[in-house]
A and B are shown apart, each in its own frame.
Chain A
Amino acid sequence: MIRVESLDKAFDAKKVLSDINVSFDAGKVNLIIGKSGSGKTVLLKSIIGLHTIDSGHIYYGDRDLAAMNTRQVKELRKEIGVVFQGGALFDSLTVLENVMFPLNLFSDLTEGEKIKRAKFCLNRVDLFDAEQLYPSEISGGMKKRVAIARAIVLEPKYLFCDEPNSGLDPLTSIVIDNLISEITHEYQMTTVVNTHDMNSVFEIGEKIVFIHEGRKEWEGDKDGIAHTDNEHLNDFIFSSELFKKIKNVL
């Protein structure tokens, strides 16, 4: 479980996040939703520790991120897997080498064992026969799968995904969503996904946090979101004609 308490973050004079209090449950897919520029990526990167927060606390279980020393943060990082928006695969490495990269750094496995583990993770995300290809030679959907395989190769306790569906077609988006959901339940991870894809919200959102202009405006599940009376959330969710019609049916 991850708990965020009274988190504030500003860049120079511009306040991006104000008084965020939220918890993300273990074994569930937790979604952070909000408009572009609402601060959800900053929140995700603050939780991961890529941004230094101005005030507040971030607890991984009972460990306070702000109170950890460098060695403890490094230890924590081994428990974290991150899937970035564009995949963030290393261009100079093959697919297999990308997945093996965390193993090379943090495991004492033999070369053969590392290859076996990396291939297992690639197969788990339904990628076969792509091991020797470079990131520039594979599609966007495949890149996301490789990024997921790399994120889970060390069997992390926490998985963070920043807009995993961006740039993907609706069908591939659903495949990626389902993959994230399956892996979360299989490994009982605390998964936090940043998204503004409504299909993802209704498909895999077990806990949903809505961020509006740097503040947490709503928290609930996918059943609750359809009947919310929060004006900003309604505007966000039911912005398209299709979703407005669906709301009327609901």
Chain B
Amino acid sequence: MKFLNRLGLYIIFIRKAFSRPEKRSVYTKELMSEFEKLGLNSIVLVLIISFFIGAVLTLQTAYNMENPLLPRYLIGYLTRETMLLEFSSTIVSLILAGKIGSNIASEIGSMRITEQIEALETMGVNSVSYLVGPKIIASFVINPVLYIFSVFIGILGGLLCGIVSGVVNYEDFIYGLHFSFNPYYVTYSIVKSLFFAFIFTSIPAFYGYYVQGGALEVGKAGTKAVVDSSITILVVNLVLTQIML
């Protein structure tokens, strides 16, 4: 029963987040600020992680291919498939759920306990729409972009590591990248990244918005938001994979 109540409250919350803004120019300014906070501040982290994961994937694939009958281009192929299908969409989103999710929950939660949300309401501002709407829209735009960057940098990391360590040569790796490429996988992963972007912004925002108490409760809301959005991402990943592949 409690779960259904929370779910109902969440649906109303999301509806409010997409209600018509009071003044478009103020919301546009907020949206630009969210692009910076959610996108630019995450891009370095995503690139670093993707580069190293791509490199490690190449090494691990190479060391697991002891059979001389297996062609070396499979290293490039498997690195591409892993980055494209799962790492750059799901794992990067899980990382962002931790980084951005806790940030959103604590930011909105702090605004709640310091009466800033009430101040917005008394000014006649739809606080959910003003605070949450731009975050969701910004992450919708940013997450697919981060996905694309992550795929490219991961593959680049794999290529460089493969050449430097000598486990694969440039030609084989590039051949593997082109081998049996299915463009639908990109569409599938971008659709997933859109769903995940919605999850890792809206769930933490919901927890932050309805926090009650003090700093301790804000901290707890942040933790709960990250756990719940991570689990939701994993479940939605499974469902989308079943539907789309």
Chain A interface residues toward B at CB < 8 A = 45, 48-50, 73-74, 77-78, 80, 82, 84-86, 88-92, 101-102, 104-106
How many contacts A-B (CB < 8 Å)?
50
CB atoms of B124 and A78 under 8 A apart: yes
Residue A74 contacts which of B110, B114, B115, B124 (CB distance < 8 angstroms)?
Answer: B124
B residues adjacent to A (C-beta < 8 A): 22-23, 25-26, 33, 110-111, 114-116, 118-119, 121-125
Within the complex, what minimum Cβ distance (angstroms) separates B133 from chain A?
15
Contact B118 A88 (CB under 8 A): yes
B-side interface mostly = helix
Greatest chain A CB density within 10 A among B22, B118, B119 is at B119
B116 touching A91, Cβ below 8 Å:
yes
Considering residues B33, B110, B115, B118, which has the most beta carbons from chain A within 10 angstroms of its beta carbon? B115
**Chain B residues with Cβ under 8 A from A77's Cβ?**
122-124
Cβ-defined partner of A88 (8 Å) among B23, B26, B114, B125: B114
Complex Cα spacing A106 to B114, Å: 24
Is B123 in contact with A102, judged by CB distance below 8 angstroms? yes
B186 to chain A, nearest CB (A): 36
Q: In whole angstroms, what is the CA distance A78 to B122 when docked?
A: 9
Complex Cα–Cα for A119 and B87 (A): 51
Given A73-B124, A88-B119, A104-B23, 14 other A-B residues pairs in contact with their CB atoms under 8 A: A45-B118, A48-B122, A49-B122, A77-B123, A84-B118, A88-B114, A90-B116, A90-B119, A91-B111, A92-B33, A104-B25, A104-B26, A105-B124, A105-B125
A31 to nearest B CB, angstroms?
A: 20
